[in-house]
Structure 1
Amino acid sequence: MNKAFITGANKGIGFATAKQLLEKGYYVFLGSRDLKKGVKAVEKLNHHGFTNVKAIQLDVTDNDSIMAAFNEINKKISALDILINNAGINGGSPYTVLEASPEQFKNTFDTNVFGVASVTKVFIELLGKSDQPRIVNVSSSVGSLTLQSDPTWPAYDYAKYGVYSASKAALNMYTVNLAYELRNTPFKVNAVCPGYTSTDFTDRNGGEVEIAAQRIVKYALINHNGPTGKFFSEETNPQTGEVPW
């Protein structure tokens, strides 16, 4: 049975992603900063008949928490097949770069960039023991420098979440470099925008969470001929999915 670890998976897109991977026969480690919320999420999944799932306490901004999560998972499995770096924050208001505080930038980058790098660094060895390791970094189309600077982009005038978009642009560059460094291995590493989705993150505005999760799962399950080092937003580009950096 293949194994997956999803950060920030006790609710929203992460939870829906966990459910879809369980439906496909995966064993899922469900990361949650608050373990009690993670346990409740697992209980919901158990109620729907899914038993191959376990809640893991994980605060991606805390190195001790990351190591504890690794040690717990490492004791249970010999290889990890999928890592989905889903945990993220929107940075809070004010959203413009001139009004946002330095603390907003620091806190957002701690979770959305440094947290991803820290979790990936710790789990890379366990992923490397898989025959087809996959890493999906959950990004956003607002992290595209090309789109954000294009006045003809439909979202040009309302997608200026300065702090959040800056963190996702940095995450995208991390993804490019990670894919490059793993280019001669079986790893596939991609950045995926799930789209504007109705969750707590968006105050319940946007599309269906199941569709967002499908977009993530698609790139978590690509075969050995699949892409790596790419940026996908099927909401932005329904034809090929790929969008410019």
Structure 2
Amino acid sequence: MSETKTALVTGANKGIGYEIAAGLGALGWRVGIGARDDGRREAAVVRLREAGVDAFGVPLDVTDDDSVAAAAELVAEHAGGLDALVNNAGITGGGPQQPSTVDLALVRRVVETNVLGVIRVTNAMLPLLRRSAAPRIVNMSSSVGSLTRQSGPGGELITGPVAVAYSTSKTFLNAVTVQYVRELAGTGILVNCACPGFVATDLNGFRGVRTPQQGAATAIRLATLPDDGPTGGFFEDAGVVPW
């Protein structure tokens, strides 16, 4: 049996997800490129293969049960198992997100992708991860989901944009991650959250100050942790992010 490790990265056709796939590929991993858009997904696979990455396309809409089930079957057929799952796919939702006036449909849409999508994909991929000798799950979160960082040291509110859908979805995701850690304790599956920082991607209109490559670094590290690595943590390049 091949000793090549296999990862699945959701939302991997561009931005941070693409760079996570590229980084894992550069380490010799086989990487499934999960994405909804057929054209963008296959274009990403071609680019990665040209760069020497053993990449394969995985049609995947994290909000659709049938799509996720089919993706799990494809990964099983292509690779036989899975060593790392990086739940990177996410949306901001756009639009005004003041809590007093927000469109509830927008909040539901963001949570469906950023939270329920992670649960849906993780549960579908768990049987494959359990076959691995060193399974890892990485959930891409954000410091805006940190309750500590959303308030000052004395409990005062910080200034900045209010985003009741996006920020809250990341807090929700952090809590979900902790619950997986509790359930999977003792199985060898390490589960952590990664904060990429403020990265210039189309998610934020390219206003970020970090490159996608920089934003991918923590996720790559968490996907390749040794067996004695942490689980149940929230990390960025500088270290631990407070919940």
SS in 1 for 2:139: strand
Question: How far apart, CA to CA, are the structure 1 residues paired with 2:146 and 2:22?
Answer: 29
Q: What letter is aligned with 1:126?
A: L
| Candidates 187, 190, 212, aligned match of 2:189 | 187
2:56 equivalent to 1:58: no
The corresponding residue for 1:163 is 165
| Candidates 36, 42, 45, aligned match of 1:42 | 45
| Candidates 124, 127, 136, aligned match of 1:125 | 127
SS in 1 for 2:56: strand
Question: How far apart, CA to CA, are the structure 1 residues paired with 2:75 and 2:182?
Answer: 27
2:215 equivalent to 1:217: no
| Candidates 98, 101, 122, aligned match of 1:99 | 101
Indicate if the aligned counterparts of 1:3 and 1:80 stay in contact, CA closer than 8 A: yes
Provide TM-score, normalisation by structure 2.
0.94
Cα-to-partner distance string for 1:180-208 (whole Å, 9 max, x where unaligned): 11111111000111111011011112211
2:22 equivalent to 1:25: no
SS in 1 for 2:78: coil
Cα-to-partner distance string for 1:3-61 (whole Å, 9 max, x where unaligned): 000000000000011001000000000001112210011111122233x1011110000
The corresponding residue for 2:89 is 87
Unaligned runs of 5+ in 2: none
Question: How far apart, CA to CA, are the structure 1 residues paired with 2:178 and 2:52?
Answer: 38
Residue pairs, 1:135-150, within 5 angstroms: 135-150=137-152
Indicate if the aligned counterparts of 1:136 and 1:220 stay in contact, CA closer than 8 A: yes
Q: Give the fraction of aligned pairs with identical amino acids, expressed as a percent.
A: 41
The corresponding residue for 1:9 is 12
In the TM superposition, residue 96 of structure 1 has moved relative to its aligned partner by 1.7
Indicate if the aligned counterparts of 1:85 and 1:116 stay in contact, CA closer than 8 A: yes
2:237 equivalent to 1:242: no
Q: What letter is aligned with 2:88?
A: N
Q: What letter is aligned with 1:128?
A: R
Runs of 4 or more consecutive aligned structure 1 residues displaced over 6 Å after TM superposition: none
Question: How far apart, CA to CA, are the structure 1 residues paired with 2:150 and 2:97?
Answer: 15
Residue pairs, 1:225-240, within 5 angstroms: 225-234=228-237, 238=238
Indicate if the aligned counterparts of 1:140 and 1:233 stay in contact, CA closer than 8 A: no
Indicate if the aligned counterparts of 1:142 and 1:160 stay in contact, CA closer than 8 A: no
In the TM superposition, residue 225 of structure 1 has moved relative to its aligned partner by 1.0
Moved more, 158-167 or 64-73: 158-167
SS in 1 for 2:79: coil
Q: What letter is aligned with 2:33?
A: L
Indicate if the aligned counterparts of 1:142 and 1:159 stay in contact, CA closer than 8 A: no
Cα-to-partner distance string for 1:125-180 (whole Å, 9 max, x where unaligned): 10000001000000001001121122679x93115322101100000000001011
Question: How far apart, CA to CA, are the structure 2 residues paired with 1:118 and 1:88?
Answer: 13
Q: What letter is aligned with 1:203?
A: G
Question: How far apart, CA to CA, are the structure 2 residues paired with 1:133 and 1:216?
Answer: 14
